[in-house]
Chain A
């Protein structure tokens, strides 16, 4: 990982932070754009979750009874009911550990 990539990624991230505040006033952005942007987490994060759970290190589909499947199911259920970040992560890890031991 080159330092240049880190710096460019940092500059882009900084741009996402300051651009609206410095160049845009509240009236310039349409409601529609704001509404669409509110879906960004719901589209970006599953794109990371799904391959990490359903593929193994070699890029093949995992078995139905892979520990990761049980772990993520536990985390989804606990997450749905608790809405707690910590409880979601811990429940997933614990179930995963139970199955790999």
Chain B
């Protein structure tokens, strides 16, 4: 049985390649927060309180574009609903932990920690210390995100608007989904969702960001049905 620290270190090492894109992403987020006119304090607070990169960018972008708080908050929920999926997979491996430990460890669940720790759990025999893998991966990712947000906040007040840093927003989201570009079903859902967002863009409160995922998931359901019947 490996020691707590060894497993913690393994988590830290496993996630380190995934930290590389987090650095520019965090800096971009901090800089955009300032560019969109938010105070440094509240821009940073979203990194601490929400701690979900993509959802934070959408959140500040929607609010600065005149969306209602309700829509902005709901869209954060929709974007982060993928955590339900991660939790559903991880719960199997964390079942033996106390409620307090489960609640604490949950804060560290992200795309990256899920990716590396679920793989570790799957390939190693689960023991009393296994969850230290997720803690190690999560803590280093969390620290990276907090520090890079702060760097971005400082850079944001230096970088001129003409650099078009705002264009980094769609690019960042595109980068997150490049792995699914080779799956036809996913590409179909992407195109349907993209067109739907253009069609519904002008309806009040920026509600297109809620309507589109509903349409997208419905088409995903239909695609799954069709695939099953083939």
0/1 interface trace, chain A 17-44, chain B, CB 8 Å (1 if under): 1111110111001001111111111111
| B209 partner residues in chain A, CB cutoff 8 A | 47-48
Of A46, A51, A84, A96, which one neighbours B164 at CB under 8 angstroms? A96
Q: How far is the CB of A51 from chain B (nearest CB, A)?
A: 5
Q: How far is the CB of B165 from chain A (nearest CB, A)?
A: 9
Of B63, B64, B81, B109, which one neighbours A37 at CB under 8 angstroms? B81
Which residues of A, 60-101, contact B by the 8 Å Cβ criterion? Answer: 67-68, 71-72, 75-76, 79-80, 82-86, 88-89, 92-93, 96-97, 100
Interface of B is mostly: helix
| B224 partner residues in chain A, CB cutoff 8 A | 32, 35-36
A47 touches B212 (CB 8 A): yes
Of A18, A26, A97, which one neighbours B92 at CB under 8 angstroms? A26
Query: Given A6-B45, A48-B169, A50-B198, A24–B87 Cβ distance below 8 Å?
Result: yes
| A79 partner residues in chain B, CB cutoff 8 A | 174-175, 178, 181
In the docked arrangement, what's the CA distance between A69 and B174, Å? 13
| B72 partner residues in chain A, CB cutoff 8 A | 5, 9
B50 touches A51 (CB 8 A): no
Interface of A is mostly: helix
B107 touches A17 (CB 8 A): yes
For chain B, give the interface size range. 35 or more
| A100 partner residues in chain B, CB cutoff 8 A | 162, 164
B63 touches A5 (CB 8 A): yes
Residue from the set A20, A35, A55 with the largest chain B CB neighbour count within 10 Å: A20
| A54 partner residues in chain B, CB cutoff 8 A | 198
Q: How far is the CB of B187 from chain A (nearest CB, A)?
A: 8
B169 touches A21 (CB 8 A): no
| A71 partner residues in chain B, CB cutoff 8 A | 167, 171
Give 28 pairs: A residue, B residue, CB < 8 Å, sorted on A.
A5-B59, A6-B42, A9-B49, A13-B50, A13-B77, A14-B107, A16-B84, A18-B87, A22-B106, A24-B87, A33-B88, A36-B221, A37-B84, A40-B78, A40-B79, A41-B176, A42-B190, A43-B189, A43-B190, A43-B220, A45-B176, A48-B61, A49-B174, A49-B194, A50-B198, A79-B175, A86-B21, A92-B171
